[in-house]
Amino acid sequence: MSVIKFENVTFQYSNSREVLKDINFEVESNSTTILLGKNGSGKSTLLKLLMYFEKPQEGTIFLNNKCVNEYSILERSKEIAYVSQDVFNQFDFSVKDYLLFGVTNTLSMFQSPNKSHEKLVQQFVEKFEIPHLMNKSMDKISGGEKQIVMICKAFIQGSNVIVLDEPLSALDFINQNKVLRLLKDIKNENKTIIFTTHNPNHALYLDANILMLDEQKLVINGKAREVLTIENLINIYGDIIGFSSDHPYEEFSIKQ
């Protein structure tokens, strides 16, 4: 069953050329989908349309068979969580308090988080291996640490769909692998993940579905291990693409 559906979606920012043109695809529930494409191909814009931060000039976007524009902000927060690629620097509260904001969509007016909410937060804190950050101020931790905290909060939010815009961009070698392992494990928790990356190897590691954008259009849609071929990547990125075995050195990778 599809949880996300784009039908003939076209979008352009004011006074600019079209960013996305006639986009059609579906995302199945409990799946991982990765958006690939060069800078400026429309990956982040597509996610903003899904989140209803932007509105398409043409076409319709469905979330759980309901138009995204028909959800209230609260309703949408229960269905879908979003992590921006922008790592904000001005937070004057603790990591613990920031993570507790993830449960606000379950609270009534004037209700405060209780012990059960704190227990939920602690479970994800352990899973993301960040207990050492809990009492630190958000504006005193590194950009990479902040990005992991932001991703952790998205999972705490409890939405079935989690959208991440370049979630690995600010992370070091080890923490990139940590987040990838978590995304791989989350497949067993009835979550639908969609995120952007510039590294096609991430899609192969996660055995994900691929949506590849080029020249404002969706040009590849399928299973990563079937459609991520040298030929397809060269068509998008040019003939600089090759296998690591073609290099005069061995590339480092994390043991799986």
Sequence ranges of the domains in the chain? 2-246
Cα-Cα end-to-end distance for the chain = 31
Architecture of domain 2-246: 3-Layer(aba) Sandwich (3.40)
With residue 20 as reference, give the H or E element that holds it: strand 18-28
At residue 33, the pLDDT reads: 97
At residue 7, the pLDDT reads: 97
**pLDDT > 80? residue 74:** yes
With residue 143 as reference, give the H or E element that holds it: helix 143-156
Q: Alpha-carbon distance 152 to 101, whole Å? A: 11
Average pLDDT over residues 89-116: 82
At residue 88, the pLDDT reads: 60
pTM: 0.90
- Please state, rounded to an integer, the average pLDDT across all residues of the chain: 90
**Pseudo-torsion of CA 69, 70, 72, 76, nearest 10°?**
-70
CA angle 192, 194, 196 (to 5 degrees): 165
**pLDDT > 80? residue 86:** no
Tell me the two tokens of residue 130: 């960040």
Banded pLDDT at 89 (limits 50, 70, 90): low
At residue 190, the pLDDT reads: 83
